[in-house]
Structure 1
């Protein structure tokens, strides 16, 4: 059964507001779902965020020489620390770091980087080598091993499309665009067998799974309210939903969402300012909600992009590059700056050389937050120390 037919059939049960991936398989049995209250929240910056204009090497004269058209004025850089500082739009990132709740990991990338949006996102989402292709995402593989049986909301993705990161052998995640718009379309009395055809019967089984997941989400939302005013942006709304699900004890291990618009080949100053402002405001509202609910220590927020931008500007923007910073917020992070400042004198064909492999960050998250042996999902890099 192809994806289009699959979605057409299952859409009758979800009202088109739950998006189902096309990688679902028959239900199997796995080890126990990890107990505890820890969860991971991933925010993917789509398009390739310009790390050098996000966490800025303001004391490096080469930064201004190579970016004469788009460099951030030294006097505008905030929260300066050892030659680095934040874009002025990230004023609350600076506050979170001063509170000891935000860690910056510098120069994150991987060997033999790929500058294609699609392929580099795929590499980050599967934790593969740049010359290898994996069918399942790194978080999907993790959930496969952590779920004793089918857990429809072990991972929740807030987006209009599903994410490869959560794809596993079992359907342990669900993609939701707007949980306020979907209602239960059936209950146990209304469930009927669609057909004697095994493929259609399989769809019925998946539809039952979706209903179960949507019911769990509605129950969690019914037990929670927002106590913070969130910005009226797509990311702000998604993080508000995630906060309510966490507060409502949905007990998902992974939440995932994204923000678009970081492919800044042109008009970068204005576009990047707007995007970073939206990012800052949404995350700071989420952060304050979690702090107010005394849940920040249980929630680790991970902000990343598929690559950075080239060091030299193209006149009015930047082209696809390689290494860039990651940000870790909450989860009892130590609030450090990890890694060396970007070395603008030693470039690889005009791009930054990575110092820290992103898979070592994943390994640290799994080891320290999920108490999980990351080697079981094929990550061979050693866990990065100093985050927690």
Structure 2
């Protein structure tokens, strides 16, 4: 039941999509009455953004197996093409007349897809409105600024507002809504990053909390409380107590003390919850992405101890900007990603919460179909459209959503130089995830201002 006054919620949301000139307006967010039902928080749900930094090559992640589609792919990719007999077969319930396979290093993803726990969202990218290659070349429709730029496109993916420079991501805007309606735990943010700073989780009046691979970061003197019989820690505690009780006029001194106290309290709160949570037996690969997803699973396991019914996690994997040595480097990264995502899903099954946790991939952009060199060390350049993965028990899996593009160079989907024009926008992709997470359908146009330009608001993959 939605009992929030509509004008109030819309005001709260509008504050999240103002331009950078609106800093004074953002300061007024606290004057709005608390929202009561802008996000449905019944039960537990978690979203996990898996960002593939550098521009993952989706066209070597999902590849046509049947001829002549494979022959078209191989002719365009030349020395970047995977061998047809190496592809891991998938059998989508949807069909465009072609057969498809996954990269040979993606056995875990193949298992998830074939068991209907993973969906592929085809040819997705930053768009302001539906755009054809001819319109792109003529520049007679509004286009996302600075296409093919890492910094700009990764930001636009995370904000889902490509036509405006924004410091807030759509995950952060949802956290703002939750905060505005009085939801949350004062001891811990709804947004948790396992991969440092990011834009997706940045909000106007909420901040994300960053964890290391082993839990909450702890001040040195608190990591080793027995060092020198605890004398150093005791001295540090006395200094903090004195500073907290101080009434002098040094604002910097008092704020620094409050910050240190918050850091200590948050670290203890999170690590105590993790220690009290049920242990997981699922084995994760000992890679960077595996360790991040392992800790995300542990945080989900501690959801009762943390007192949260909504969580948004951010994890990341670097290295996808492969202008050379593409085949080897890309295969190596996928050999890390695939088992980590499979282990994460298995952990949610172990906890009995797989229907309440959805993981999804995002990336700067796709890669060009064309190769930039000769031999096995050749690479690809910055593209546009890309294939993405959505994983979880609630996912309507074993399906390909959207249209797989024609992979011929200078073909009907090529904007030039092998750059495929997206046919699904980041707004449609993100809005589908936000709606599942509990955002009100009537608020999606404010969370994703360009969504109104697309006829399909919900892709229904989850």
Coarse TM-score class (shorter-chain normalised): 0.7 to 0.9
Which stretches in structure 1 are left out of the alignment for 5+ residues?
Answer: 1-23
Paired position in structure 2 for 1:196: 249
Task: Say if 1:93 and 1:308 are closer, same or farther in 2 by CA, change over 3 A.
Answer: same
Contact 1:224 1:245 in 2 (8 A): no
Once the two structures are overlaid, the 10-residue window that deviates more, 81-90 or 292-301, is 81-90
Paired position in structure 2 for 1:6: none
Task: Provide TM-score, normalisation by structure 1.
Answer: 0.86
Paired position in structure 1 for 2:62: 55
Paired position in structure 1 for 2:151: 118
Paired position in structure 2 for 1:94: 110
Are positions 1:108 and 2:124 aligned together?
Answer: yes
SS of 1:342 mapped into structure 2: coil
Task: Say if 1:248 and 1:178 are closer, same or farther in 2 by CA, change over 3 A.
Answer: same
Are positions 1:182 and 2:256 aligned together?
Answer: no
Once the 2 structures are TM-superposed, how far is the Cα of residue 64 of structure 1 from its aligned partner?
Answer: 0.6
SS of 2:313 mapped into structure 1: strand
Once the 2 structures are TM-superposed, how far is the Cα of residue 135 of structure 1 from its aligned partner?
Answer: 2.1
Paired position in structure 2 for 1:156: 192
Between structure 1 and structure 2, the one with the greater Rg is 2
Task: Provide TM-score, normalisation by structure 2.
Answer: 0.73
Q: State the distance in 1 between where 2:87 and 2:73 align.
A: 13
Q: State the distance in 2 between where 1:308 and 1:332 align.
A: 26
Are positions 1:262 and 2:329 aligned together?
Answer: no
Paired position in structure 2 for 1:354: 422
Paired position in structure 1 for 2:100: 84
Contact 1:334 1:387 in 2 (8 A): yes
Q: State the distance in 2 between where 1:171 and 1:219 align.
A: 23
Which stretches in structure 2 are left out of the alignment for 5+ residues?
Answer: 1-25, 92-97, 128-142, 223-235
Q: State the distance in 1 between where 2:433 and 2:311 align.
A: 12
Task: Say if 1:153 and 1:206 are closer, same or farther in 2 by CA, change over 3 A.
Answer: same
Q: State the distance in 2 between where 1:367 and 1:155 align.
A: 17
More helix by percentage: 2
Once the 2 structures are TM-superposed, how far is the Cα of residue 359 of structure 1 from its aligned partner?
Answer: 1.2
**Which of 141, 156, 165 is the equivalent residue of 1:133?**
165
**Which of 348, 351, 355 is the equivalent residue of 1:297?**
355
Q: State the distance in 2 between where 1:217 and 1:26 align.
A: 31
Q: State the distance in 2 between where 1:300 and 1:37 align.
A: 12
Paired position in structure 2 for 1:213: 266
Once the 2 structures are TM-superposed, how far is the Cα of residue 151 of structure 1 from its aligned partner?
Answer: 6.0
Task: Say if 1:201 and 1:189 are closer, same or farther in 2 by CA, change over 3 A.
Answer: closer
Task: Say if 1:203 and 1:167 are closer, same or farther in 2 by CA, change over 3 A.
Answer: farther
Paired position in structure 2 for 1:3: none
Once the two structures are overlaid, the 10-residue window that deviates more, 119-128 or 215-224, is 215-224
Once the 2 structures are TM-superposed, how far is the Cα of residue 188 of structure 1 from its aligned partner?
Answer: 12
Contact 1:303 1:328 in 2 (8 A): yes
Contact 2:215 2:270 in 1 (8 A): no
Paired position in structure 2 for 1:14: none
Paired position in structure 1 for 2:372: 314
Aligned length, in residue pairs: 363
Paired position in structure 2 for 1:337: 400
